[in-house]
Amino acid sequence: MPYRRLPNTDAARLRALRAVACYKNSPIDTERPFDRRILQEICSFLPQFENAMFEYKQAINSEGNKNNKYQQYI
């Protein structure tokens, strides 16, 4: 069985999910390396994952800004 590396970071996971989602508009008779059900699950999960990553980045930026303001008071 060949060894396949799994994505380690959220950016790599997002890139991998987007690569699979590009098969969404491909014709049905095309050879896909995965089942249609998996494609549907990924297409429904991808917007939620992108939104979660966006909210996470916003929270990190907000925390950094609040920390900078707090450091000014000290």
Task: Please indicate, yes or no, if residue 57 is contained in any of the structural domains.
Answer: yes
Domains in the chain, number: 1
Task: Please indicate, yes or no, if residue 21 is contained in any of the structural domains.
Answer: yes
Task: Please indicate, yes or no, if residue 4 is contained in any of the structural domains.
Answer: no
Compute the Cα dihedral for 14, 42, 48, 6 and give only its sign: negative
Task: Please indicate, yes or no, if residue 14 is contained in any of the structural domains.
Answer: yes
pTM: 0.75
What are the tens digits of pLDDT across the range 27-71? 765 677 888 898 899 999 999 999 999 999 999 999 999 998 888
Q: Is 64 exposed, middle or buried (0-12, 13-18, 19+ CB in 10 A)?
A: exposed
Give the range of the structural domain holding residue 59, as residue numbers without chain letter: 10-73
Task: Please indicate, yes or no, if residue 3 is contained in any of the structural domains.
Answer: no
Task: Please indicate, yes or no, if residue 2 is contained in any of the structural domains.
Answer: no
